[in-house]
Structure 1
Amino acid sequence: MTGRRRAVLIAGPTASGKSALALGLAQAGDGVVINADAMQIYDTLQVVTARPSEADMALAEHRLYGTVPAAVRFSTGQWLAAVRAVIESVDPARPLIFVGGTGLYFDALLNGFADIPEVPAALALEVQQEIQALDGEQRLALLRREDPVAAARLKVADPQRLTRALAVKRATGRTLSSFQQELSASMLADFLSIDRMVLDPDRDVLRARIGDRFEQMFAGGAVEEVRALRALNLDPSLPVMKAIGVREIGDWLDGVIGRDEAIALATIATQQYAKRQRTWFRNRFGDWPRRAA
C-alpha cells in the first residue's frame, strides 16, 4: 500500500512558520500532520516548545505531539517506530505531512537509521575525562584498540566523535561501527511522491519573530508549564529539562534573575539554536527547495 502514498516534508528553524504551513496543507488536502520535532513529542511543555495549539490541532489531524511523558528519554529509533505505526494506521490516500526542526529525524526517515543504544551520561563523562589528558595521536591509538573501523574514519581526533565511539563500545560491548552497518531502509522508499522543503525566512525577520514569540510564551502559559515540570522532580539530564525556556524561567521563579532577563536569555538561546538549525539544514539538505515562509 505504500506505493500509493504521498509525503510532504517541511523542515526549518524554530519560528519559521512550519506548523502554520503544515496545517494549511493538511486542511487543503485532508492530510495528517506528523511531528518531526524532538521537543514537541513530550507532554507538559506545549507552550514552551511551541507545539500547535489545541485549536489548531482540532482543524486537522495531528499525530505524535505531546505523546511521550517528560520522564522518558525518547530516541530517534523510537520516533521512527512511532512513525511506522502512524503510517500503518492512516488511509494510504491521505498525504502525510512531516513537519519539524529536528534534522536527524528527517535524515533517518529518508536515509535509514542505525539504532544505537543510549549511552549513560556518567559513562560518557568518564570517557571525556579520560581523553582530556591525551594528545591527538594518543586518543586515536586508544580508539584503534577498541574500534579500529571508527578510528580509521576519523581524520582528526575529534573529541566528541571519539567519546561517542568509546562510550558505545564500553556500554554495549559492541563497536559503534558495527551498529552503523545495520542501517535500516528508508521508511519512505516506496512512496509515490515525496515533496521536500526547508523554510528559510530572512534572518532579521526570523530574529524578530523569535523575540516576539517568547514574550508571548511567557504571558501565555510557559511559566505554569515550567512550574509543573519542576514539580515532577525529574533528572536534570533528561532531554525535556534542556528545552529552551526551562532553565531561564526556572531561574526567574527562583529569584535568580528578573523577568526581562529571563525573556532576553531565552530569546538569545533560541536565536542561537535557530542559527545551528539553519546551518545543519544548509549542509545536509542543501538540495531541498527553499521557501521564505
Structure 2
Amino acid sequence: MMSKIPILILTGPTAVGKTDLSVKLAEILNAEIISADATQIYKKMDIGSAKITHREMKGVPHHLIDILNPDDEFSVSEYGDLAKKCIEDIHNRGKFPIITGGTGLYLNSILYKMNFGNSNSDERLRLELNELLNNKGIDYMHNLLKSYSEEVANKIHKNNTKRVIRAIEIFKLGGELGDFSKDLELNEKYDAKIVVLNRNRKLLYDRINYRVDLMFENGLIEEVKSLVDEGFSKDLVSMKAIGYKEIIDYLNGITTLEESKSIIKQNSRRYAKRQITWFKRYKDAFWIDLDNTKNIDEQIDIIMNLLKER
C-alpha cells in the first residue's frame, strides 16, 4: 500500500494574514506553495486579487498563479487535476506541499473525490452559482431553488449550500433531482493537515477595509480599465470577481467612486463571512485565532507542533 503524501492546507478568510505566514512556513519546511485562489490564477489581475508579489515570495516557488488569461475557460475539476500534479511533483522532489488560499471549491477538489456525476454537471455553471452565492447570500439561492421546485427546496436546508447549488445546477441543465444525501468522499492519497486562520470579526473587517483602500491607492481602477480596454468582457467569470465587477460599474457610470469602494468593502466582508462558514465544514481542521497569538513566530510554532502529530 502506498504511503499518503503529507500536505498542509493553510486557509482562512480574505485578508486574515495567510500570505506572510505561508512563506515563512515554506522557508522552514523546505516547501513549495500551491495557490488555491480563484482570482490569482489569472494573469493581469494583480491588485484586485491581492496577488503575492515576487518580492513577497522570498524565493519560495509558487504554483497555479498567473497561469490563465482572464478570458480562458477553467473549471474546478481542471484546477484539481493541476493541483494534484503539483503536489506529486513537489513531493517527488523531496519538498513539502503547502496549499494556501481561500477558494473553498478549489480546496475541496484536493481534499475530496469530486464526483458530482457525469450527467447534468457543469463546472462553469457551478462556479457562477457559487459566485452568485457569495454576492447574494444563501437566502437568495434558496429562494431561487424554490422557484424551480418548492418541494425540493423544502427537503434541502438552506444552510446546506453545496446541495442547494447542486440542485439549482441540475434544474438549470434540465435534469431531475438526484440524491443529495451522500457526503463528499475523502481523498485518501493525502495526509492533510488543515489549518484555518481566523480573527475577531471586527478586526478582520477592519483589515478588509484597509486592504481595499490600499488597492485603490495602488491602482485598482487603472488595472480594471486596462483589462476592459483590452476587450475583457464584464460577463467573463474572472471579471465577476469582487473588486473587478464593482469597478466596471464605476467605469460605466453606474456607481460613483465612493459607492464602488464601499460596495467592494461590503462584498469582501460578506465573502469573508461565507468563507468562515465554509471552513467550518472541515471537521478535522485546526483553527488558530491570530489575535490570541503574540506574533508570527508563535503562529509558526503552533503549526509546526501540529505537523509533528503525524
Smaller-chain TM-score range?
0.7 to 0.9
Distance 1:69 1:156, change over 3 A: same
Deviates more, 1:245-254 or 1:263-272: 245-254
Residue of structure 2 equivalent to 1:107: 108
Structure 1: give runs of 5+ residues left out of the alignment.
Answer: 141-150
Unaligned runs of 5+ in 2: 130-142, 159-163, 291-310
Match of 1:143 in 2: none
Q: What residue in structure 2 maps to residue 197 of structure 1? A: 195
Alpha-carbon offset, residue 111 of structure 1? 1.7
Distance 1:244 1:33 in 2: 24
1:42, CA displacement in angstroms?
A: 1.3
Q: 1:62 to 1:14 in 2, by over 3 A?
A: same
Q: Secondary structure at the match of 1:194?
A: strand
Contact 1:113/1:185 (8 A) holds in 2: no
Distance 2:50 2:271 in 1: 14
The equivalent of 1:32 in structure 2 is 32
Q: CA deviation at 1:262?
A: 2.2
Distance 1:167 1:203 in 2: 36
Selected match of 2:244 from 226, 243, 246: 246
Name the residue aligned to 2:89: 89
Question: Structure 1 length normalisation: TM-score?
Answer: 0.77
SS at 2:225's partner residue? helix
Q: Cα gap change, 1:57/1:257 in structure 2, threshold over 3 Å: closer, same or farther? A: same
**Matched residue type, 2:243:** G
Q: What is the match of residue 168 of structure 2? A: 163
Q: Which residue of 2 aligns with 1:9?
A: 9
Counterpart position of 2:287: 290
Q: Is the 8 A contact 2:195 2:286 kept in 1?
A: yes
Instruction: Measure how far apart 1:160 and its partner are.
Output: 5.0
CA distance in 1, matches of 2:245, 2:57: 28
Q: Which residue of 1 aligns with 2:300?
A: none
Q: Deviations over 1:80-126 (max 9, x none)?
A: 111122134325321100011111222221121026334669xx9xx
Whether contact under 8 Å (2:43, 2:68) holds in the other structure is: yes
Return the letter of the residue paired with 1:68. Answer: L
C-alpha separation between the residues in 1 aligned to 2:214 and 2:46?
Answer: 13
Question: 1:136 corresponds to which letter in structure 2?
Answer: E
Which structure has the larger Rg over C-alpha atoms? Answer: 1
Question: Aligned-residue CA RMSD in angstroms?
Answer: 3.3
Q: How much has 1:129 moved relative to structure 2?
A: 9.5
Query: In structure 2, do the counterparts of structure 1 residues 72 and 168 end up closer, same or farther at CA, with 3 Å as the change threshold?
Result: same
Question: Paired residue for 1:206?
Answer: 204
Partner of 1:223, secondary structure, is: helix
The 5 Å alignment of 1:104-253 reads 104-114=105-115, 116-118=121-123, 132=147, 136-137=150-151, 155-156=155-156, 160-169=165-174, 177=178, 186=187, 189-191=188-190, 193-253=191-251
Q: How far did residue 49 of structure 1 move?
A: 0.7
For the residues of structure 1 that align with 2:29 and 2:12, how far apart are their CA atoms? 22
Aligned residues: 264
1:147 aligned partner: none
**8 Å contact kept, 2:193–2:285:** no
Alpha-carbon spacing, 1:292–1:43, altered in 2? closer, same or farther (3 Å): same
Shift of 1:253: 3.1
Q: 1:69 to 1:210 in 2, by over 3 A?
A: same
Instruction: Supply the distance in 2 between the matched residues of 1:194 and 1:160 (Cα, whole angstroms).
Output: 26
User: Which residue of structure 1 lines up, in the alignment, with residue 275 of structure 2?
Assistant: 277
Fraction of identical pairs, as percent? 29
Distance 2:115 2:69 in 1: 24
TM-score by length of 2: 0.74
Partner SS state of residue 273, structure 1 = helix
Instruction: Give, in angstroms, the shift of residue 244 of structure 1.
Output: 1.0
1:185 shift after superposition: 6.9
Q: In structure 2, give the amino acid aligned to 1:247.
A: K
CA contact (8 A) 1:7 1:95 kept: yes
Q: State the shift of 1:288 in Å.
A: 1.0
